[in-house]
Structure 1
Amino acid sequence: MKVQQLLDEYIDVYIKSLKYLDSFVSEPATAYNLSFEQYLILHDIAEKSNVTLARIADNRGVTRSAISRQIKVLLNLDYIYQQRDDKDHRRQYLHLTPRGRQIEEIVTQKASDRFTSWVNIFGQEKAESLLDFIKEFSEVAKLENNGKASE
């Protein structure tokens, strides 16, 4: 297969199929007025201790203002609250409210159930192989982008 034909097929698959992966993951969150990014923040807070806006931004490689916008929505929905650090009043830790914990658990379970059904359809080996390829692709793309940034 020629490279141009491969690119054309990739674009076709992307347009027709890969966009469904986004909805597959984000759909359970939309029922609770959450974007996928907002759900990921809830999930981080549920899974880790001493979560701060800065740590989330650093881990995701995005700006603090981007995370701040997401956090503002979560605060307004009363899914999270902020608590100042006793030792450094500039630092605020993020915590789930009882409602936020409930929503995070529901969405996590729904996403897990959907993912499990897909793994059952395609098989564990194929799911792992796809994940390995995506990881490898991401690493190569990151290296290529870093190389271009230094030019």
Structure 2
Amino acid sequence: MNTKHLLDEYIDVYMTSLKYLDSFISEPAMAFKLSFEQYLIMHTIKESQNVTLVDIADSRKVTRSAISRQIKVLLGLEYIYQERDSNDRRRQYLRLTPRGDEIERVISKKAEQRFQSWVDYFGEGKAEEILHFIRQFVDVANLNNPADS
């Protein structure tokens, strides 16, 4: 298969499959007016002690303003709140509200169920193989495009 044909096949897979995969993963969050990224921020808050906006931006390798926009939405929906550090008033920790905690739990459960259905269908070995390939792909992409990483 020549490179152009292979590229065309990759584009076709992206347009027909990977976009579906994104919506399949995002769907549980949409029921609560959340993007998948916003849900992931909520999940990080739940799983972390004393996490800040800067911590999330740094761990995701995105700008603080990108995370700030997502956090504004979560604050507006009253799914999270900010709590000042008693020792350093400039630092604000992100916390889930009781409603935010419940929503995070519901979305996490649905996401786990959906993912389990994939693992049941493809098998754990294939799921690990796909994950390994994706990680290799990202590593190579980062080597070839160091400004993007």
The TM-score, its normalising length taken from structure 2, stands at 0.96
CA–CA separation in structure 1 for the residues paired with 2:86 and 2:145? 40
Unaligned 5+ segments in structure 2 are none
Alignment of 1:48-87 (within 5 A): 48-87=48-87
Residue of structure 1 in register with 2:121 after alignment: 121
Residue of structure 1 in register with 2:141 after alignment: 141
Amino acid in structure 2 at the alignment position of 1:32 = F
Q: What is the CA-CA distance between 1:88 and the residue it aligns to?
A: 1.0
Q: What is the CA-CA distance between 1:67 and the residue it aligns to?
A: 0.5
1:4-33 deviation line (CA, Å, top 9, x unaligned): 111110001110111011011110000001
1:115-147 deviation line (CA, Å, top 9, x unaligned): 10011111111111000000000011011111x
DSSP 3-state at the match of 1:88: coil
Aligned residues: 147
Amino acid in structure 1 at the alignment position of 2:57 = A
CA–CA separation in structure 1 for the residues paired with 2:104 and 2:143? 34
| Aligned residues with identical type, % of pairs | 66
Residue 22 (structure 1) aligned with residue 28 (structure 2): no
Residue of structure 1 in register with 2:7 after alignment: 7
CA–CA separation in structure 2 for the residues paired with 1:87 and 1:140? 43
CA–CA separation in structure 2 for the residues paired with 1:124 and 1:5? 31
Amino acid in structure 1 at the alignment position of 2:115 = F
Residue 39 (structure 1) aligned with residue 32 (structure 2): no
Amino acid in structure 1 at the alignment position of 2:5 = Q
Unaligned 5+ segments in structure 1 are none
Alignment of 1:90-129 (within 5 A): 90-129=90-129
Q: CA RMSD in A?
A: 0.7
CA–CA separation in structure 1 for the residues paired with 2:15 and 2:125? 25
Amino acid in structure 1 at the alignment position of 2:56 = I
DSSP 3-state at the match of 1:83: strand
